[in-house]
Amino acid sequence: MADDELPPDLRGLEAILASRPGPDAGGAVRARILAAVHRELAAKERRTRWSFWRFAAGLAALVLLGLNLSSSAVHDTEFSVGRTAGAQDDQAAVAQIRDLLPGCSEEEARRHVLLLRARARLVSAPELRHARPGAGDSL
């Protein structure tokens, strides 16, 4: 390994250690130490990349869990929209519709009441569509 492959802080440490008085360790020891440092730096880089992907996978799992829980909460929550109405309420609604639309027959007013009651039981949810290229559908 050449000196320019070392990070600056390790080059400085090597210069300090080389300037100390003592026996010369030789080139073989230097090569072993540099190889060990290089392996450790490469291992640290691999661990850093692996920890990012672990973080990303954990975050994705957390988002999916949150979506699942919120979806379950929406489907299991009673919004009091399914309350049953009595015949008297239906008659009052028919009378209101006929007052607002004088040309509407009794049967047509009942049909409107039935549709309004059915609509009142629906829970608002987004409509998801998948657009296919060339299908001509717009979102």
Helix (H) or strand (E) holding 129: none
What is the reported pLDDT for 1?
A: 47
pLDDT averaged per 10 residues, the chain (length 139): 68 82 73 84 75 88 92 70 64 90 90 82 67 56
The one-letter amino acid code at 57 reads A
Q: Which of 121, 100, 97, 120 is nearest to 108 (CA)?
A: 97
Q: Please report how many Cα atoms fall inside a 13 Å half-sphere around the Cα of residue 16, on the Cβ side.
A: 6
Q: 80 near 60, Cβ under 8 Å?
A: no
What is the reported pLDDT for 108?
A: 92
